[in-house]
Structure 1
């Protein structure tokens, strides 16, 4: 954001979005680390570097089913030249014949040694006999049991894996801040790690507020609005990696709201409310949470931010536990954008994840769009990669408030405070959304 944009936002009585996010995120700290069994670590973020205690593979082993042999015993059949296809045997009609002196499986453990002119039948994963430097795949042989004829000669070292070929003992496997993926779990387990120190997934409680709200399973009618927000935000928090819990609907009752939030501070690392962030007569969340009561730490501060849609956002702590609370607008589109802008980075920060913001790209705009002056707009859009590199972005119909647009979007087109119109063909910023498509 430029200094001019900051000045324009200030003139409108709005806080620049970048300033607001910086002030909020500086107040948050990653959750204390936790030692977890490896089977429970998936989805968390490492809290410390992880070093391999053992090499992987842990021993020389066969990589394919075949015959473990000395390459010098079979090289004559192919004169040592790569893969040699047989016509009737090896070159010149010759094959290589070796004695099979034993079978080795993945569970074999006694060390054995090759003698000249011999080989072992070896299953993939079996430890190699001493002296073996090649494994001939079974399909390149006559699959003999007492003796085997080899029709193709692989290069020296083919079909085997050496100790530490992939990971050596003492090597850095992953740095602090790394997301624990299924593949990383496999690497950790393979090198002998059973526990890791991680940041726990934040427990996030979602509360929808408003006398007008009714639960799902019916249609809205005058005086009643179906609660879409708490369901959508619970899903969004889970997508962000949180342990998300939907409390449900809370009426605009001051004591009821206070009691509900006080109860939830025992179960939450972050509370998200939706609705009541404005200055109207029914905006109970802002009225109640912005008050300081007794010696209780810090009220929730509500700020009008240069953000479109949904300028009114709240952040602070509640209860004696000083649990962070994020207050989002009641409009479903504004609540979802507010989650992306504020709540999702807060969840990532608590989880110790880096970076805390969505990845972004610069994209070629396919359609001219207009945007309100002095506000940073986040508009649902579809992003696609261009042939030859780069991206294109197509704004979706209906603007930022439409739920259908958000449901179809795989990106959010970002238009800055000074942008009132962006022409087709211009280059714009786009946040990339996680979509399993």
Structure 2
């Protein structure tokens, strides 16, 4: 954000978005680390570096089913002891015959040694005999039991996995801040790790407020609005990796709201409310949570931010435990955008995840769009990769307030405070959204 944009926002009585986010995120700290069994660690973020206690593979082993042999015994150019050229019935040629002196499975543990001209039948994962430097796949042989004919000679080292070939003992497996994926769980387990220290997934409670709200399963009528927000925000929090709990609807009752929030602090690392952040007569959340007590300011500060849609956002703490609370607007589109720019980074920060913001790209705009002056707009869009590199972005119909646009979007077009119109063909910033399609 430029100094000019900052000045324009301040002139409108609005706080620049970058300044607001910086002031909020500086007040948050990652949750205390927790030692977890490996089976429970998926989806969390490592709180410390992890070093391999053992090598992987832990011993020389066969990578395929076949016959473990000495390459010099089967190589066409070599004539090691036991090399027996045989006229093959196959077109083309000659084969090599070796004596099969034993079978080795993945559970075999006694060390054995190859003698010239011999081989072992081995299963994938079986320890290699001493002296073996190649495994001939079963399908390249006649699959003999006492003796085997080899029709095709692999390169030296084929079908063999050496000790520490993938990971050596003492190697750094993952740094602090790394997301624990299923693949990382496999690596950790394979090197002998049973516990890891992680940041726990934040427990996030979502509360929708408003006398007009009714639960899902019915249509809206005059004086009634179906509560879409708490359902959508619960899903959004879960998508980030939080343990998300939907409390449901709270009426605009001061004592009821205070009591509900106080109760939820016992099980929450973050509370998200939606609705009541404005300055109208029915905006009880702002009136209650920002109320001064004696000479003290209220626990939550509400700020008019240079953001479109949804300028009014709240942040502070509630309860004796001072649990962070994020207050989002009641309009569903504004609530979802507010979650993206404020609540999502807060959840990532609590979880110890880096980076806290979504990835972004620069994209070629396909359609001219207008934007309100002095506000940073986030508009649903579809972003696609171009042949030859780069991206294109197509704004979706209806602007930023439309839920259907947000449902279809795989990106958010970002238009800065100084932008009142962006022409087709210009280059713009786009946040990339998670989509499992």
Instruction: Please classify the TM superposition score into its range, dividing by the shorter chain length.
Output: over 0.9
Residues 410 and 135 of structure 1, relative CA distance in 2, 3 Å threshold: same
Residues 86 and 225 of structure 1, relative CA distance in 2, 3 Å threshold: farther
> Secondary structure of 1:78's match?
coil
User: 2:81, 2:175 → 1: CA distance?
Assistant: 43
Give 1:78 deviation, angstroms: 7.9
> Secondary structure of 2:43's match?
coil
Q: Which deviations, in whole Å up to 9, do the C-alpha atoms of 1:272-312 show, x marking residues without a partner?
A: 00000000000000000002447999610000000000000
CA contact (8 A) 1:35 1:197 kept: yes
Partner in structure 2 of residue 328 of structure 1: 328
CA contact (8 A) 2:276 2:286 kept: yes
Partner in structure 2 of residue 183 of structure 1: 183
CA contact (8 A) 1:297 1:320 kept: no
CA contact (8 A) 1:305 1:313 kept: yes
User: 2:346, 2:367 → 1: CA distance?
Assistant: 33
CA contact (8 A) 2:317 2:323 kept: yes
Give 1:95 deviation, angstroms: 1.2
Q: Which deviations, in whole Å up to 9, do the C-alpha atoms of 1:160-195 show, x marking residues without a partner?
A: 100000000000000000000000000000000000
CA RMSD of aligned residues (A): 2.5
User: 1:321, 1:130 → 2: CA distance?
Assistant: 63
Residues 298 and 195 of structure 1, relative CA distance in 2, 3 Å threshold: farther
Give 1:133 deviation, angstroms: 0.4
Report the TM-score, using the length of structure 1 for normalisation: 0.97
Give 1:88 deviation, angstroms: 3.8
Residues 81 and 257 of structure 1, relative CA distance in 2, 3 Å threshold: farther
User: 1:208, 1:81 → 2: CA distance?
Assistant: 82
> Secondary structure of 2:85's match?
coil
Count of residues in Structure 1 that have an aligned counterpart in Structure 2: 437
Residues 314 and 103 of structure 1, relative CA distance in 2, 3 Å threshold: same
Deviates more, 1:89-98 or 1:173-182: 89-98
Give 1:104 deviation, angstroms: 0.2
> Secondary structure of 2:276's match?
coil
User: Is residue 292 of structure 2 the alignment partner of residue 292 of structure 1?
Assistant: yes
CA contact (8 A) 1:84 1:154 kept: no
Give 1:85 deviation, angstroms: 15
Question: Gapped runs of 5+ residues in structure 2?
Answer: none
User: 2:142, 2:78 → 1: CA distance?
Assistant: 16
Q: Flag as ranges the 4+ runs of structure 1 deviating above 6 A.
A: 77-87, 89-92, 294-297
User: 2:177, 2:81 → 1: CA distance?
Assistant: 47
Q: Which deviations, in whole Å up to 9, do the C-alpha atoms of 1:308-359 show, x marking residues without a partner?
A: 0000000000000000000000000000000000000000000000000000
Residues 373 and 84 of structure 1, relative CA distance in 2, 3 Å threshold: farther
Give 1:84 deviation, angstroms: 16
CA contact (8 A) 1:362 1:427 kept: yes
Residues 311 and 412 of structure 1, relative CA distance in 2, 3 Å threshold: same
CA contact (8 A) 2:83 2:96 kept: no
Question: Gapped runs of 5+ residues in structure 1?
Answer: none
> Secondary structure of 1:189's match?
helix
Q: Which deviations, in whole Å up to 9, do the C-alpha atoms of 1:212-237 show, x marking residues without a partner?
A: 00000000000000000000000000
Give 1:75 deviation, angstroms: 1.1
Residues 114 and 80 of structure 1, relative CA distance in 2, 3 Å threshold: closer
Give 1:87 deviation, angstroms: 9.7
- Once the two structures are superposed, the pairs formed by residues 383-422 of structure 1 within 5 Å of their partners are 383-422=383-422
CA contact (8 A) 1:90 1:152 kept: no
> Secondary structure of 1:230's match?
helix
Residues 82 and 3 of structure 1, relative CA distance in 2, 3 Å threshold: farther
Residues 118 and 188 of structure 1, relative CA distance in 2, 3 Å threshold: same
> Secondary structure of 2:399's match?
coil
Q: Which deviations, in whole Å up to 9, do the C-alpha atoms of 1:42-82 show, x marking residues without a partner?
A: 00000000000000000000000000001111113789999
CA contact (8 A) 1:83 1:155 kept: no
